[in-house]
Copies of this chain bind each other. A is one copy, B any other.
């Protein structure tokens, strides 16, 4: 399909009809900071909601709570905070997550189980619930359905992100205009499955719960599960997709009319968010797509793509504008996939650096030019079969290490 089938629009999660958003300041991480840190998304109409959560065995309290509520009720709202992950906080943490749902529900006049809770930030520290609860009425009062309201919510979920992440698109299904909007936060710890990332998608499509869940899984597999910054997987990753049916379309069901188009639109939206997350990774200077083809199987291709995308030595070389195909092939070799060294071709942005496992005579200047930009593609052709996979990754910078080292010194100074 061509990209002309969807049109980019403004408004993020407020773009689809019947959704409102808000963001206020609680001072969760730092009582003196003016940064918004508590977000709310509300559907004014009953909605279906699909969720994908971290596969880390250590799950934050709000993840566990939201998974339970999603089974027990039909969510109407998402309340999300930045500054504290409420992870490794035991029964007290669970109580705090519940109280966040409870006070949000009271402020909105809905039931506690209709509120999903998400948190992101530091692990192992008690949530300063006393600074959050009093702000819930303000948060409800802040709700708006415009671009500005969306921007407040997008700001409130940011942690070390340097910019808010907002997207919205519209498509037509059966003559009806359907809108999809999203906000997300990313930055560090980005890895399959998923990242320390939150992504909230709203849509006014009318869609069955089963099809919404299947579409969300598929889109997630093709987007957030294919990005990696530091190879770490967070305790809090959550993707939520709410569909409230206000577009007035005939209900989309599995395999029915419009289902393929809706899945592709959702995938496109989530891919755009995923790329924004990698490009804004902590102290990242390059967005690199690793494409593997010619593997015996897709699974083999995935092993190669992930090994290359996560290799510290490969990522260091990109940071130094070094078209180092030797480090790439060494990662190919230890990936666990079936490969034959003498069959491997490696390209940097279409320029062939290695053919059949050996250096080519492509001028080094051309290869250097390919890896010098802020965005490029590394293509590895194993020349063995038809298996394919792609992953988005980044370089590894000294500033990344400094940032993740000095976060602590900064926090220490404050106490």
> A residues near B, CB below 8 A?
55-59, 87-90, 122-125, 188-189, 230-235, 310-313, 316-317, 319-322, 324-327, 329-335, 337-339, 341-342, 344, 354, 356-359, 396-402, 404-409
The docked-state distance in angstroms from the alpha carbon of A88 to that of B355 is 10
Contact B330 A235 (CB under 8 A): yes
Option from B56, B234, B402 in Cβ contact (under 8 Å) with A398: B402
Chain B's closest residue to A340 (CB) is B57
- Which chain B residues lie closer than 8 Å to A396 at the CB level? 312, 401
- Which chain B residues lie closer than 8 Å to A317 at the CB level? 404-405, 408
The docked-state distance in angstroms from the alpha carbon of A400 to that of B341 is 28
Option from B58, B234, B325 in Cβ contact (under 8 Å) with A341: B58
The docked-state distance in angstroms from the alpha carbon of A359 to that of B404 is 21
- Which chain B residues lie closer than 8 Å to A311 at the CB level? 231-232
Q: A124-B359, A358-B88 are contacts. A329–B58 as well, Cβ < 8 Å? A: yes
The docked-state distance in angstroms from the alpha carbon of A235 to that of B357 is 13
The docked-state distance in angstroms from the alpha carbon of A354 to that of B401 is 25
The docked-state distance in angstroms from the alpha carbon of A326 to that of B335 is 29
Contact A408 B320 (CB under 8 A): yes
Q: Which of A233, A338, A404 has the most CB of B within 10 A?
A: A404
Q: How many copies does the complex hold?
A: 2
- Distance to closest chain B CB from A335 (angstroms): 8
Q: A332-B58, A333-B58, A334-B56 are contacts. A342–B405 as well, Cβ < 8 Å? A: no
- Which chain B residues lie closer than 8 Å to A233 at the CB level? 330, 333-334
Contact A230 B312 (CB under 8 A): yes
- Which chain B residues lie closer than 8 Å to A55 at the CB level? 334
- Which chain B residues lie closer than 8 Å to A358 at the CB level? 88-90, 124
Q: A124-B359, A405-B317, A408-B317 are contacts. A333–B56 as well, Cβ < 8 Å? A: yes
Other than the given A58-B329, A230-B313, 18 more pairs (CB < 8 A) read: A57-B339, A59-B341, A87-B326, A88-B326, A88-B329, A88-B354, A88-B359, A89-B358, A90-B357, A123-B330, A230-B312, A231-B310, A312-B396, A316-B404, A320-B409, A322-B405, A324-B408, A397-B401
The docked-state distance in angstroms from the alpha carbon of A322 to that of B407 is 9
Q: Which of A59, A232, A334, A344 has the most CB of B within 10 A?
A: A334
- Distance to closest chain B CB from A341 (angstroms): 5
Q: Give 14 CB contacts A-B under 8 Å.
A: A55-B334, A57-B338, A88-B341, A88-B354, A88-B357, A122-B326, A124-B354, A124-B358, A125-B359, A232-B313, A232-B331, A313-B404, A319-B405, A322-B409
- Distance to closest chain B CB from A181 (angstroms): 30
- Which chain B residues lie closer than 8 Å to A398 at the CB level? 398-399, 401-402, 405
The docked-state distance in angstroms from the alpha carbon of A58 to that of B354 is 14
- Which chain B residues lie closer than 8 Å to A409 at the CB level? 320, 322
The docked-state distance in angstroms from the alpha carbon of A188 to that of B332 is 17
Contact B405 A330 (CB under 8 A): no
- Which chain B residues lie closer than 8 Å to A188 at the CB level? 313
Contact B330 A58 (CB under 8 A): yes
Contact A57 B235 (CB under 8 A): no
The docked-state distance in angstroms from the alpha carbon of A321 to that of B234 is 22
- Distance to closest chain B CB from A86 (angstroms): 12
Option from B59, B322, B327 in Cβ contact (under 8 Å) with A123: B327
- Distance to closest chain B CB from A23 (angstroms): 26
The docked-state distance in angstroms from the alpha carbon of A56 to that of B319 is 25
Contact A320 B90 (CB under 8 A): no
- Which chain B residues lie closer than 8 Å to A338 at the CB level? 57
